[in-house]
Structure 1
Amino acid sequence: MSKMYLELAKRNLQRAKVRSLLAVIGILIGVMAVSAIGIFGESLKAAVLQNFEDVANELIVSPNFQEGYKYLDEKDISRIKKLPNVAEAIPIKSDSLLVESKKKKSYAVVYAMDEKDVEDMFKAEKGSIRLKSSCVVGKRLAEFADIRVNSKITIAGREFRVAAILEDTGARFDINPNSAIILSPEDFEKVSDVGYTMLIVKAESLEKVDDVKKEIEEKINSRDEKVVVFDLKIILERINEAFSQINTFLMAIASVSLLVAGVSILNIMLMSTIERTKEIGIMRAIGAYRSTILRIFLMEALILGLIGSAIGSVLSIAGGYAIDLMILQDASYVFRLSTLLYISLGFSIGVMVSVLSGLYPAWKASRLEPIEALRYE
């Protein structure tokens, strides 16, 4: 019986090829818009989050200035390093010091870090990272002061040779070396007497971040609120939420085209009902049930939706690829599981809109009385 409904629906659509084609195109465009924009939104979110992957499992421990603590205690740093689920803890000193080169004199942030930690966290654009009686300089500061590899600069009255210029790291939430200088802890003590101003704690995994944060607060802040612990996972969650909202908004705008396609199908089906009034009357007169007429019309709407949605889903991959390549200059994000999810979503919405648009015309056709339909001219 279902096969008979399908054949009747196909025959009826073929009788109005132009209108059927226009309906399919409308659905196609709508599905393509929803899926392609969804793919792009997810690609944009992935591209932004990728910049924070290296620091996602980090916690920043800093002294609680409001409680009168200016620096971190070395004993507390040692206790944090021994906590479970802590993969690494990097103590950092920082101070704003006068830096002089041949052409510029200005204050800059100077960090004290172990050479191994610098090598793990940053990359040298020029030269090689060496901190023994040498320093490394951030790219923006090097450009501003015209500092080059192997040139000499003076920091708080002491001379150091520049071993490397670091790559631009973009925005960071732990330390920002782009406009700073990094010295070894031993050399830093020669130009500043400040204590530890920050401790970067890396959890063994992203899932362990909350546990590590809780352990630090319980062990170090048991009596006094000595430290403030900030986990970067919160930032990732906020970014993820923001992009999800933006993506939903963009897809809602794109869905307007599907609404237009739905109106087109509604119009086509209503026209078909009017044109086939007499035919429906004959079917009803020879014993066709109202449910039969309803199923035939819904089958027609379903066929239009399936064809348009299928073609639109395939083309949305090309659309998403083109948008990513044009805006992000990287189309690799298209080949992700989320792409299939948005294609499935676009396909499902397209079919659903088509069927819903066909409901009223199908119901109207099924309600025609045989005698009145046979009299229709």
Structure 2
Amino acid sequence: MYFQLARRNLMRNKARSLLAIVGIIIGVMAVASIGVFGESLKATVLENFQNVANEVIITPAYSTGHFEIDEKIARKIEKMSYVKETIAVKSGWATLEVKGKSGAANVYGMDEKAVKDLFEAEDGSIKLKGYCIVGKSLAERFKLRAGSKIIVEGREYRVSAVLKEEGARFDINPNRALILSVSDFDKIFDAKYSMIIVKVRDINEIEAFKSAIEKTINSREKKVSVFELKMILEKIDETFKQVTVFLMAIAGVSLLVAGVSILNIMLMSTLERTKEIGVMRAIGAYRESILRIFLLEALILGLIGSIIGGLLSIAGGYAIDMLVLGSAKYVLTPSTAFYMLEGITFGIITALISGLYPAWKASRLEPIEALRYE
């Protein structure tokens, strides 16, 4: 009976009810779509770092006066049971000369296989014996391409490859660097390792690996520092969660506007139906019954608008992902369902809260005063 009365009251003014529903649809759609987009953005960013989640970067312990990692320590790390693969890196600054133009650049000494694992060639093919590899920015600076000649500290090398431009990296960024084989590097520099990149067999063994480093290498004196990239991924995940919440809060303003619209509609409805409420109270209707009818009206508006808005949020999330990210592969994920339900829940709660005061006001009307109202 209450549902029928509430439905009938809403149908009396279809345009007004429709506008309230549209407001809820827009609000719920905005909140859920932004949530879907935030999750897609986070997944896209993390995708670029997933292949380094099991990486640990070992550097000299500069704080205790160590500036290099010697061969003995490198071999110890390589033989540890938790290690899947190690990439030992040497580095130094050198003077370059190309067709009379000179400058300085960071030079890495690395194994050819390691370079192939870490980077991709944009021009030429990766090979190091007697050759060198240059980063994108360095190639543009000296107008280098595969086959170009370059003099490094008086020694001539031919460029075998120009690497693709790299984004932010936490291990090696070769954009402005030149890479030589370890043997060629040793002909120019008298340097030990400046960094060792360790790929741990299992991401869950990182803590055990760090403990092993402390026991075997840093037991008497801190010689190396350990930096795990998993920690960066956790920070990125936490940051994007905060950004998503912030964006959803901004989008929630539209839901607040929809709530004000429902509040206005219900107050107007209370005024217009004052005499009707008086008649109901005069023939024995309880205050709770009046309260229930008005709250049910708000609930119906909230349910219809929230469900439609939740379903449309998939299309909204898809549109935003395509516009900003150029891909929508993360739209249909479990997180999308979560944000849909979250948007629907907030929409319904907003509608009910907006209907509370009008419902309470209607239930407090005295029969005699209501019947005399014009």
Shorter-chain TM-score bucket reads: over 0.9
CA distance in 1, matches of 2:202, 2:24: 45
The alignment partner of 1:100 has SS state of: strand
1:92 and 1:111 in contact (8 A); partners too:
yes
The 5 A counterparts of 1:74-223 are 74-102=71-99, 104-223=101-220
- How far apart are 1:103 and its partner, in Å? 5.3
Asked if the contact 1:71–1:195 (Cα under 8 Å) also holds between the matched residues in 2, the reply is yes
| Other-structure match for 1:366 | 363
Cα distance per residue 1:333-366 (max 9 Å; x no partner): 3232222222221111011100111111112222
- The range that moved more, 112-121 or 99-108, is 99-108
Give the conservation status (yes or no) of the 8 Å contact 1:36–1:317: yes
- Tell me by how many angstroms 1:167 deviates: 0.9
Matches of 1:28 and 1:58, distance apart in 2: 45
- Tell me the SS of whatever aligns to 2:175: helix
Q: Give, in whole Å, the separation in 1 of the partners of 2:148 and 2:98.
A: 9
| Alpha-carbon shift at residue 30 of structure 1 (Å) | 1.0
- Quick one: which amino acid aligns to residue 348 of structure 1? T
Identify the residue that residue 247 of structure 1 maps to in structure 2.
Answer: 244
Q: Is the 8 A contact 1:217 1:229 kept in 2?
A: no
Q: CA deviation at 1:191?
A: 1.6
CA distance in 2 between partners of 1:166 and 1:40 (Å): 32
CA distance in 2, matches of 1:356, 1:85: 56
| CA deviation map 1:165-189 (0-9, x unaligned) | 1111211110111111111111211
Give the Cα–Cα distance (whole angstroms) in 2 for the partners of residues 370 and 84 of structure 1. Answer: 84
Judged with a 3 Å threshold, the aligned counterparts in structure 2 of structure 1 residues 104 and 210 are, in CA distance, closer, same or farther, namely: farther
Aligned pairs (5 A) from 1:307-326:
307-326=304-323
Q: Aligned partners of 1:113, 1:358: CA distance in 2, in Å?
A: 69
- Does residue 302 (structure 1) correspond to residue 299 (structure 2)? The answer is yes
TM-score by length of 2: 0.95
What secondary structure, in the 3-state scheme, does the structure 1 residue paired with 2:157 have? Answer: strand
1:70 aligned to which of 63, 67, 70? 67
1:281 paired to 2:278? yes
**AA matched with 2:86:** A
Asked whether the equivalents of residues 96 and 108 of structure 1 are also in contact (C-alpha less than 8 Å), the reply is yes
Helix, strand or coil at the partner of 1:178: coil
- Once structures 1 and 2 are overlaid, which stretch shifts more, 117-126 or 319-328? 319-328
Change (3 A) 1:84 1:292: farther
Give the 3-state SS of the residue equivalent to 1:361 in structure 2. Answer: helix
C-alpha displacement at 1:138, in angstroms?
0.9
Q: Go from structure 1 to structure 2 and tell me whether the alpha carbon gap of 1:103 and 1:251 turns closer, same or farther (over 3 Å shift).
A: farther
- Structure 2 CA distance for aligned equivalents of residues 364 and 111 of structure 1: 77
Match of 1:340 among 312, 337, 340: 337
- Partner amino acid, structure 1, of 2:79: K
1:260 match: 257
Q: Does the CA contact (< 8 Å) of 1:103 and 1:146 recur in 2?
A: no
Q: Which moved more, 1:188-197 or 1:50-59?
A: 50-59
Amino acid at match of 1:160: Y
User: Aligned-pair distance for 1:143?
Assistant: 1.2
1:31 to 18, 28, 32: 28
Shift of 1:61: 0.7
CA drift at 1:83: 2.4
SS in 2 for 1:19: helix
Kindly provide the amino acid, as one letter, of the partner of residue 78 in structure 1. Answer: R
Aligned length: 374
Q: In the alignment, what sits opposite 1:15?
A: 12
- Partner of 1:51 in structure 2? 48
> Deviation digits for residues 140-180 of structure 1, max 9, x if unmatched?
11111111112221112111121111111211110111111
AA paired with 2:273?
Answer: R
Q: Deviations over 1:66-105 (max 9, x none)?
A: 3222211222222222323322211111111112222531
Q: Which residue in 2 is equivalent to 1:327?
A: 324
